[in-house]
Structure 1
Amino acid sequence: MRRLLFGLLLSTLAVPALADEIGSVGYRFKWIGPNDKIVVEAFDDPDVPGVTCYFSHARTGGLKGAIGVAEDPGEASIACRQVGAVDESALGKLKSPHEVFSERASLIFKSTQVVRFWDAKRRALVYLTYTDRIFEGSPRNSISVVPLGVK
């Protein structure tokens, strides 16, 4: 019974998708712990093979950042590109909007998300990144569009 309850609890928690870290740059020196930095990461759209998104966001350093309890700023930028062949027959079946990536931005209450929209009229995939917080979200956001050509 405990295993069942533990399994149900784990299935309700948001597990962030994995992104590949491309690189980072420090932007603020910290006396104790790592410096604050801007990180560039990439992830492939899980439902649209052939599309990769690159996004940048700030990570808080210092002592809190070193032990994983710092809250990162709620700002991010995104650029998505077609990097391979796209199976266009599957595009009409896409959920829109649909969360394709999530990464925590604080210990519990804040996450950075990427949501994909399918614009069938213009044959374009639109990716929106924003940071939400359980109690008070932020309207700061960034979008990227991947046009798939005219038919």
Structure 2
Amino acid sequence: MKTLVSLLLFALALPAHAEEIGEVSTTFHLLSPNDKVVVEAFDDPSVTGVACYVSRAKTGGYKGAAGLAKDPSRFSVACRQVGPISFVKPLPKQEEVFKESASFVFKHVRVVRMVDSKRNTLTYVTYSDKLIDGSPDNAVTAVPVSGQRIPLK
């Protein structure tokens, strides 16, 4: 039983996994996959009732098909209240809630939740990092929480 509880707590601490909502082609390639913009959704793992939508470019062509392409560091994020908000646990001031690979070699798209206590708002920023240097390209969105205070660690 103790092991089951430990595994459950560990699973709650992991960043969310996204589900693909859809995609649009941006560049046509005759014999290989097109370049596209993909929209994915994920639920905040620590805040019930908040979902985030991330759009990002995915490189097609032969390199994209083989998983060797370097996707551009251009994306956006929109997080919204999709149901009654409740908190699974007290939140840290800042926490990574989503991470997904964006290239074959050490590049990730990340979403970090920041708590704005003064305004009682959950703020989400998306950016990419890379082993040597990341990108300053980023996007931000915010979800106000009304009727209750955000519990902090």
| Same fold at TM > 0.5 | yes
Amino acid at match of 1:97: Q
Give the structure 2 partner of residue 124 of structure 1: 121
Equivalenced residue count is: 135
Amino acid at match of 2:38: V
Take 2:88 and 2:58, find their aligned partners in 1: how far apart are those partners? 38
Give the structure 1 partner of residue 42 of structure 2: 43
Take 2:88 and 2:31, find their aligned partners in 1: how far apart are those partners? 53
Amino acid at match of 1:101: F
How many Å apart are 1:18 and its aligned residue? 2.0
Deviates more, 1:58-67 or 1:81-90: 81-90
Amino acid at match of 2:42: F
Q: 1:16 to 1:145 in 2, by over 3 A?
A: closer
Give the structure 1 partner of residue 25 of structure 2: 26
Give the structure 2 partner of residue 9 of structure 1: none
Mind listing any 5+ residue stretches in structure 2 that lack a counterpart?
1-13, 149-153
Take 1:55 and 1:115, find their aligned partners in 2: how far apart are those partners? 12
How many Å apart are 1:96 and its aligned residue? 2.2
Take 1:25 and 1:114, find their aligned partners in 2: how far apart are those partners? 22
How many Å apart are 1:31 and its aligned residue? 3.0
How many Å apart are 1:16 and its aligned residue? 7.2
Give the structure 1 partner of residue 131 of structure 2: 134
Q: 1:74 to 1:115 in 2, by over 3 A?
A: same
Structure 1 moving runs of 4+ over 6 Å: none
Take 2:38 and 2:93, find their aligned partners in 1: how far apart are those partners? 28
Take 2:135 and 2:116, find their aligned partners in 1: how far apart are those partners? 25
Name the one with the larger strand percent. 2
Amino acid at match of 2:69: A
Take 1:109 and 1:80, find their aligned partners in 2: how far apart are those partners? 26
- Is the partner of 2:57 in helix, strand or coil? strand
How many Å apart are 1:41 and its aligned residue? 0.7
Give the structure 2 partner of residue 86 of structure 1: 85
Mind listing any 5+ residue stretches in structure 1 that lack a counterpart?
1-14
CA contact (8 A) 2:47 2:88 kept: no
- Is the partner of 2:127 in helix, strand or coil? strand
Please report the TM-score for the alignment, with normalisation by the length of structure 1.
Answer: 0.83
